[in-house]
Amino acid sequence: MESIISEFEGILLKNPDPFSYFMLVAFEASGLIRFAILLMLWPVIRVLEICGKRNKGLKLMIFVATAGVKISEIEAVARAVLPKFYFDDINMDSWSIFSSFDKRIVVSKIPRIMVERFVKEHLKADYVIGSELVVNKSGLSTGFIKDDFDLIKEIVDELFGGEQPSLGLGMPQSAGSSSFLSLCKEQLNPPFMRSKNQDHQLMIKPLPVIFHDGRLVKRPTPSTSLLILLWLPFGIIIATIRIIVGLMLPLSLIPYVAPLFGGKVIVKGKPPPLATTTNSGVLFVCTHRTLLDPVVLSTVLQRKIPAVTYSISRLSEILSPIPTVRLTRIREVDAQKIKRQLEKGDLVVCPEGTTCREPFLLRFSALFAELTDRIVPVAMNYRVGFFHATTARGWKAMDPIFFFMNPRPVYEVTFLNQLPVEATCSSGKSPHDVANYVQRILATTLGFECTNFTRKDKYRVLAGNDGIVSQNYGTNGVKSLMNTFKQVVGTFNPFIH
């Protein structure tokens, strides 16, 4: 069996510097203070690297990012946050070589807990060799590693039982006698060249990242991290102003006022006119990108259209500028609720049941197709610079705040034509066929891909649960205000429930 061993950072990943990944762990697993401390120590880390003490700089990063953090939190970040950033940094040239071997081993100086899930699930590695964090009896990381980095060669030798791996991929400076590369039959250093005979269209690609969590949009390099810290005080102020203005002004004025505060809504397609001669309202079927989808739609249509919701906080319902109809996930009960609401007028529904950040659409629930033939698909999308407006692990009531903390948040709303009668259940089509058709045309409009993943799949991957939010969530006023303060300023974990 042909085997390959590859370094992770700098080989399978384009960037050899893991600093930004430790910044992500610091921010997502601990909070803004640790994030700022690690950034302040970046010059020290760089000096150590320049002086040839790269391993000491790496140990300093590991200590600052993980010391005193629950190992379960580090695991959660490695599961839900890091894979997206790793995936965006994959070196496809080295991947084309790595993926062509039967037995694949990845070596990394980053703690194994931070890379193993991504490497095994997305790069299909058989084994991962990395540093091991020391964990105390309370389940907290001490910030130290168990053995020195020089023992990696011994672990590789023990893993192969004295046999030579077929090929080793590594950095030129890693080719010394203490490196695992000296154990391999052949060695390759970057830059790598893909075979001319290899069809790039047929090349096996890494498994894409469909679900990911965390608040940071961009990989927190030192410069980006500094921008985030400098912007944060202004972001809190402008988010407060935007929310207050949005709640106080009538919907008819918001499109004219939003650009004054940096916001923008792009409308494509022709919205349907308000019907006055029918006993049934229009059902707007939207892709679900953030909690604000129905609000933005109502703003564009210049009228308050109720939205069906499930598993959002009570605080979000209270602050919502449009009516909300809470669903129960009991099919018969929810069907009656939606029918009654449609008899009163228009309604917004997001059949995915949860948000998805990546260019994928989750499986559409077919319930909406059974209840009406007046279906208008609406493709929703958004662009932000610093902070994501969705979360699976954190407090969902913070989602609008993080959205409005971005310097120039942009929403795109694309209206498609109302489904013709022959494309609805009235023509004899099954609800699942109608739902799948709507999913496909919305995905085509946005340039997304359709999937069969559901809400439960998302939350099991990101949060380890089914995504059920307690009905008492947000009822304690003092506790809610304290949590809001903690979330915004980042004094503690920005994702404390």
Question: Residue 317 in contact with residue 381, Cβ under 8 Å?
Answer: no
pLDDT of residue 482: 41
Give Cα 245 to chain centroid, integer Å: 29
Specify the residue for token string 């042909």: 2
| DSSP characters over 436-451 | HHHHHHHHHHHT-EE-
Q: Which of 412, 414, 416, 445 is nearest to 265 (CA)?
A: 412
pLDDT at 175: 54
pLDDT at 465: 76
Q: Which residues pair with 239 in a beta bridge?
A: none
Q: Which two tokens stand for residue 62?
A: 């590991």
Note the pLDDT of residue 468: 61
Q: Which CATH class is domain 232-467?
A: alpha beta
Sign of CA dihedral 246, 486, 291, 270: positive
CATH code 3.40.1130 region(s) in the chain? 232-467
Bridge-based pairing state of the strands 133-135 and 141-145: antiparallel
Q: pTM of the entire structure?
A: 0.88
Q: Which helix (H) or strand (E) holds 489?
A: helix 477-489
Topology annotation, domain 1-186: Rossmann fold (3.40.50)
pLDDT of residue 494: 36
**Boundaries of CATH 3.40.50 in the chain?**
1-186
pLDDT tens per residue, range 172-216: 776 554 578 888 899 888 887 765 555 555 568 899 999 999 999
pLDDT along the chain (497 residues), means of 10: 91 95 96 96 96 93 96 96 97 92 93 96 94 94 88 85 88 66 88 62 81 95 97 96 90 89 94 74 95 94 91 75 88 92 93 94 95 95 95 85 95 96 92 96 97 93 72 40 40 35
Report strand pairing: 307-309 vs 324-326: parallel
Q: How many residues does the chain have?
A: 497
